[in-house]
Amino acid sequence: DRVARGFGMPMGPLELYDMIGLDTAFYAGLVLADAYGDRIESSPVIPAMVKSGRLGRKTGNVLRSVVFDLPGLAVDTHVGRLSQRLGLTKEPSPEKIEQDLMKVLPRSEWIDFSHRVIHHGRKTCKAARPRCDDCCLLELCPRIGVANA
């Protein structure tokens, strides 16, 4: 099992399933096995996912970062929402948010950033009721789009 950088928790199959779903993780394996057989390479993971038309960019980035330990920015609903609240992007689409984040984050931080922001969005900076009083980023966050900010 891998250790998810910055969290100190195991990142094994169950954690991967939690991030992208059991069905999606299983299907991603089938797509890769079908496309690459015994020679699954790390570099074409995202193109293979997107090209299949059945798995998206977020799943490709999660697999790229968790399975192959390569830089990838997985933009889910939490990453999108928090990136907008923090003023890192004004874009609504995950692909454009990913491009904006790539411009401001060092490549070496992409994996950690995605994991941390997803965790923070699930526990503290929730969509309907962000817990700003409990937030470690309170002093830095412009709270864009947060009611009663």
How far apart are the C-alpha atoms of 149 and 142, rounded to whole Å? 8
Residues designated catalytic: 58, 76
Collapse the DSSP code of 9 into the 3-class scheme (helix H, G, I; strand E, B; otherwise coil) and give the result.
strand
Neighbours of 9 (CB within 10 A): 13
Burial of 124 (0-12, 13-18, 19+ CB in 10 A): middle
How far apart are the C-alpha atoms of 15 and 73, rounded to whole Å? 17
Strand partners, 2: 11
Residue 107 DSSP one-character state: G
